[in-house]
Structure 1
Amino acid sequence: MSQSITITRTTTSSANTSYIVLNTGYLKTFPGILKLLELVLGVICVAILGISSYYGTSFFFNMAICFMIGTFILLLSCLVSLSTGGIISKTIYEVLYHTIAGVLLLIASAIFISNLNHHYSSNSLWIAGIFGLINSGLYFISAFLANKSYRGI
């Protein structure tokens, strides 16, 4: 009976005086790039909503900041640990996290854009709503990839 073996090469960077090893190779993988994009779009949405004075931002703001922090922690854990990037993608956590993030951000963005359409029109708020929709799409792609990786065990 033959078996398939996958060998993953990890690239690391470290300074001589530091004890923290960075798994820089993770950012070269597709899941790593997706997490970085999700984080950047989350930061943009939170920044735009944080400086806005529009009253209808609370649900969207809460979802954007919640998943921005969660994605930051996931990305950071994959960067500072050599084994986390390969292990966490094989667990159900990533599937659930990205699915829930995608659904809640999609709902929050849709409600937010609907409210903007009826009550308020600021270009920066429209950009935040559209970035929220794009970010939810990225979370769905991440959930699909995580589900594919999870079922491979």
Structure 2
Amino acid sequence: MAVDITGHDHGRVTTQVTWENDKDFVDERVAATVNAVSADGRRTEGPWMLVRDPSDKKRFTTAEALPPGRWKVSVEVGHPALGRDEEDITVAATERTKTPPPPPAPASHPPTATTAAAEAPPRLPGTAVAAGGVLLAGGAAAVLIVRNKRRGRT
């Protein structure tokens, strides 16, 4: 894939994704993420999902907008083929204060296992550890009860 970050629209990163060999625009679903790091390295934004721009089928954008400042933006495409681009973008404060256009409409494609996993809320690792601990403690208690009953201790 040839990925070209073309700039931004009111802070929303805009990108074109084409097939590398023939430069035809990709007309199928694209799975891509956008990340940004401020010029001073102190702030990060993303990962955000890249979605097709409803006003221009040849363009992809983000629903989220970058705050004012200078950003090093990277776009990484994983489907239908691999591709990557990285550009410096400056979002002026006046561009963000104007009323931005509405965010892109969600994709009309039915969710797949990949998109459902990507859209699922993040899970806390502590929850899984706690659940595993409860199961382990319950299993150990059951083993002790059965063993004590067999030995005649109740």
Task: State TM-score, norm by structure 2.
Answer: 0.25
Structure with greater proportional strand content: 2
Structure with greater proportional helix content: 1
Higher normalized contact order (CA 8 Å, seq sep 6+, divided by chain length): 1
Q: Work out which of the two has the higher radius of gyration on C-alpha atoms and give 1 or 2.
A: 2
